[in-house]
């Protein structure tokens, strides 16, 4: 978890980590696992199965059409365009 005082993407509630599932609840095949920080997770990795790069491109296309951009090293991570213009949110649990 990032420090909200530093104002990262997730602490502004403008980032989303997601994948695509079928109407039957099956996950689409992607080049790597979720939150798997290896070369296969990169947006330009093309040595995966035939359907994985196509599925990654489908997810990226849908998200870009709705105002999000991706980062080069994580197929699952998308930021709202202009995320840096939103203030960090610090929700401290009550004890």
Per-position DSSP letters for 21-85, written without gaps between them = B-TTSPBPP-SS-TT--SGGGSTT---S-SHHHHHHHHHHHHHHHTTEEEETTEEEEEEETTGGG
CA angle 89, 91, 95 (to 5 degrees): 165
pLDDT of residue 89: 83
5 falls in which pLDDT band (50, 70, 90)?
low
Confidence of residue 3 (pLDDT cuts 50, 70, 90): low
Q: What is the pLDDT of residues 43-83, one digit of tens each?
A: 888 887 779 999 999 999 999 999 999 999 999 999 999 99
Q: Residue ranges of the domains in the chain?
A: 4-85
CATH architecture of 4-85: 2-Layer Sandwich (3.30)
Cβ-based neighbours of 90, under 8 Å, separated by 6 or more: 4, 5, 11
């Amino acid at each position: 978890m990032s420090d909200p005082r530093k104002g990262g993407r997730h602490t502004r509630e403008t980032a989303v980590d997601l994948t695509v599932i079928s109407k039957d609840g099956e996950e689409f095949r992607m080049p790597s696992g979720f939150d798997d920080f290896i070369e296969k997770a990169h947006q330009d990795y093309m040595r995966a199965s035939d359907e994985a790069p196509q599925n990654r491109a489908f997810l990226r296309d849908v998200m870009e059409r709705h105002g999000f951009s991706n980062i080069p090293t994580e197929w699952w991570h998308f930021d709202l365009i202009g995320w840096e213009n939103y203030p960090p949110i610090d929700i401290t649990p009550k004890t």
